[in-house]
A = this chain, B = another copy of it.
Amino acid sequence: MKADIISIGDELLKGHRVNTNAPYIAKALGTIGIPVERIVTCSDDTESIWHALVSSLQDADIVLVTGGLGPTRDDRTRKAVQDLLGRGLVFWPDAYERIAGIFRLRGRELTEEMRDQAMVIEGSVPVANTKGTAPGMIIDCGQRFGNHHLVLMPGVPVEMEAMTTLTVIPYFAPMSGSFIRHTPVMTMGIGESMLAGMINEVEDSMPAHTTLSYLPHAAGVRLMVSTTGRDRDEVDAENRGVVDAIVSRAGDYIYATSDASLEEVVVRLLVERGLTVAVAESCTGGLVSSRITDVPGSSECFLQGEVTYSNAAKESLLGVGRATIEAYGAVSEQVALEMARGCLERSGADIAVATTGIAGPGGGSADKPVGMLCLAVASKQADGAVREEVSTLQHFGDRSQNKARFSEAALRALLERLRKTASVVTRDP
C-alpha cells in the first residue's frame, strides 16, 4: 500500500503558511508501514482539486486530503469529490448533535449553514471531529478507482491531528499489514563523516529491512534507524539490534535514542539525581532558561536565571567585578567564569552555566568577531569544592542562528558535566 497527500489552500501556494499537516500525516502513516509517494499542494478552486484527486487516485491506494471542509465559500473539497464520484450527501446526526452542542454552549443560534456541515458524502465512513465542527470522511471510491480510498479532513491542524490519530490510522492499520519502526539516535559534538567512520561496521552488516539515514540537527547529527516488516515483534527486535550496535560504538556522542531534545535530557538527568540548576546569560538573552523551562516538570530542578545584558546587570546580579570587565571585556572567558561562579553562589544551585558572546549583526571586532561565545560551567563537587570549566567557541550564523547554537552549546556543556557523574554532587532524589 502507498499513499498520496493533497493539501488544499491558496494560503499555502502564496507562501503565507507553512504546510505542517502533510509531515504530520506522513509520520503517522509511517508507523503503520504505509509510505507516502507524493505530497501535492493545490489551489482551493474546484477544478484544481478535481485534477489533483484524479491524478493521485490513479496510483495511490490511499489519498488523504486536508483543507476545504468548512462553512465558508472557500471550502470546495466536498463538492469536488461529489462531482468526481457522482454521489450525493446524507445527514450525519452525530455531527449535527456536536455542532448544536457547541452552539448552545456559546449561546449562539444554529444557522442553516451549520446543518450543511453535518452532511457527509453517501457511502462514506464519517470521521468524528473532536476539536471542531466539520466532520471528516473515509471513502471507498469504488471499482472505477480500483477501490482506492479517499480520506477528507479539515485543514485546521488540531482537528486533522485528532482525526488522524483517533480514526484514520486505526482504520488503515489492519489493511496495511506491515509495520515500520523509526528510532532516532541523537548525537552531539561529532561531525557526519567522523560518526560514519565509527559505525561503518554496523552499516555494512545491516539487516535487509533496516535503513540508516543521517540528518543534521542544531547540536550535531540525528541518525534515523528505520525497519519495516510484517511482524511487529520482529521489526522491533531488528530495529533495537541496530540501535544497540550503534550505541555500543558511538555511545560517548549519543545523548538520546528518542526524539528528545537536549533540554529534555538535561532536565531528566537533573531531576533523577535531585540536582538544581541556574543560568546566567548575556548573548543568549534568556533562550537557555526558556529552553529549560519548555520542559514540563522543569520547576523541580530550575531555580532561576539572570539575563545580564548590560555590564551593570552583570555586576549587580552576578557579582562580576568591574575590574574584570574593564581588563578583559564583557565577552571573555574571565567574565564567563565570574558569571557562572556568581550564579552558582547566589542561586544556591548545584550547577550553573553562563554565556557571554556576540550574537551579531553588530558588536563584532577583529579580536572578537560576531559568532564568538565564551561559555562557563560551575558545579558543586561531592567534597564541597566548586569545579569550573570555560571554553570559547566560534559560530558563523546570523543573529538568530547564533543564539540558537549558543544555547545548544550551553545545554551541551551542562549535559557533558552531568554525565561525568562523580564530579557533580548527587543527592537523594
CB distance from A290 to the nearest CB of B (A): 4
CB distance from A58 to the nearest CB of B (A): 12
Check A237 for interface membership: any CB of B closer than 8 A.
no
Q: How many copies does the complex hold?
A: 2
CB distance from A30 to the nearest CB of B (A): 6
By Cβ-Cβ distance, the 6 closest A-B pairs, closest first, are A285-B293, A286-B289, A15-B26, A305-B307, A15-B27, A286-B286
Would B285 and A292 count as touching, CB distance under 8 A? yes
Q: Which residues of B contact A37 (CB under 8 A)?
A: 13, 42-43, 48
Check A36 for interface membership: any CB of B closer than 8 A.
yes
Given contacts A299-B363, A307-B307, list 16 more A-B pairs with CB under 8 A: A11-B213, A13-B36, A15-B26, A15-B27, A17-B215, A37-B43, A37-B48, A38-B40, A40-B41, A285-B292, A286-B288, A286-B307, A290-B290, A296-B362, A299-B310, A304-B313
Check A115 for interface membership: any CB of B closer than 8 A.
no
**Chain A residues proximal to chain B, CB less than 8 Å:** 10-20, 22-28, 30, 35-43, 48, 52, 55, 182, 213, 215, 224, 279, 281, 284-290, 292-294, 296-299, 302-310, 312-313, 316-317, 346-348, 359-363, 399-400, 403
Would B38 and A41 count as touching, CB distance under 8 A? yes
CB distance from A18 to the nearest CB of B (A): 5
CB distance from A54 to the nearest CB of B (A): 13
Q: Which residues of B contact A284 (CB under 8 A)?
A: 290, 293
Contact flag A18-B23 (CB < 8 Å), given A290-B285, A308-B304, A362-B296 = yes
Would B17 and A296 count as touching, CB distance under 8 A? no
CB distance from A82 to the nearest CB of B (A): 23
Would A13 and B40 count as touching, CB distance under 8 A? no
